[in-house]
Amino acid sequence: MNAKGNLPHYIAIKNELEERIRRGLWPAGEKLPNEDQLAAEFSVSPSTVKRAIGALVSMEMVVRTPGRGTFVAKREEPQPLTSFTEELRSRGLQATGKVLDAKIIKAQGELAYHMDTAEGQDLVFIYRLRMASGYPLALDKVYLPKEHCPDLLVQFAPALGDMDMERLLQEHYGLHIQSSREFVTARLAGEEENRYLGHTSQPLVVLDIERQLETFGGGRIMLNRRLIRADRYMLRFYRAR
């Protein structure tokens, strides 16, 4: 097959399979064609298809069942999508921040994969210390395709520290966010992270949260990697049967 633009074949295949699932061509519970069948359809090796399906598994769009095959996952009801600024406001806190770095970088390797873009594409990178009512709470790394917001670093430079990036994308650049995927792990903060977060006397546990934001049609418009002090922040869930 011909990859779109400079996308690696497995990403192009992943995008095509994801689009079929989103369009309902394969409903929840449907079994996907096996890897040999897909390899023949896309004129690639089975290992390339296996890698594409592995990406869909990590996105929780499909599940592999040993001995049976790969099936479209049943989708859970989504929770309301709120920004970090909105989340803090709901807790009675004011979100402010300080820019630690802001520049244009190239999408390479693992970053290109998580941005779902071709290697070498220009990205806007913003690194911020986020505070809740004046107290250091999180370190925030934001990645945005430059093509969607080419003047962001110039036009909004004075306000980047405090800015709600998701709201800016929607209200100024007309990029309407439809959904997000979030992945949360816990780890110890590094020495520099400890210092920025105002905690130097002992190791600090942080929540490592990756949020991938997508617009209508499945285009990824923002990758947000955030480290939050676990001693000052609690994840909240509401579940019902």
Task: Give the tens place of pLDDT for each residue, 50-89.
Answer: 999 988 988 788 998 888 999 998 876 556 778 888 888 8
What are all long-range contacts of 107-113, with beta carbons under 8 Å and residues at least 24 apart? 111/143, 111/223, 113/11, 113/55
- Secondary structure E strands in 32-106: 62-65, 69-72, 95-106
**How far apart are the C-alpha atoms of 220 and 71, rounded to whole Å?**
24
Checking if the pLDDT of 134 tops 50, the result is: yes
**How far apart are the C-alpha atoms of 200 and 194, rounded to whole Å?**
6
Confidence of residue 6 (pLDDT cuts 50, 70, 90): low
**How far apart are the C-alpha atoms of 215 and 30, rounded to whole Å?**
25
**How far apart are the C-alpha atoms of 211 and 74, rounded to whole Å?**
21
Buried b (16+ CB within 10 A) or exposed e, 122-134: ebbbbbbbbbbee
**How far apart are the C-alpha atoms of 150 and 156, rounded to whole Å?**
11
Checking if the pLDDT of 209 tops 80, the result is: yes
Question: 139-151, pLDDT tens digit by residue?
Answer: 999 999 999 999 9
**How far apart are the C-alpha atoms of 128 and 98, rounded to whole Å?**
5
Cα three-residue angle 181-184-185, rounded to 5 degrees: 150
Backbone dihedral region for residue 208 (phi beyond 0: left; psi -120 to 50: alpha; all else: beta): beta
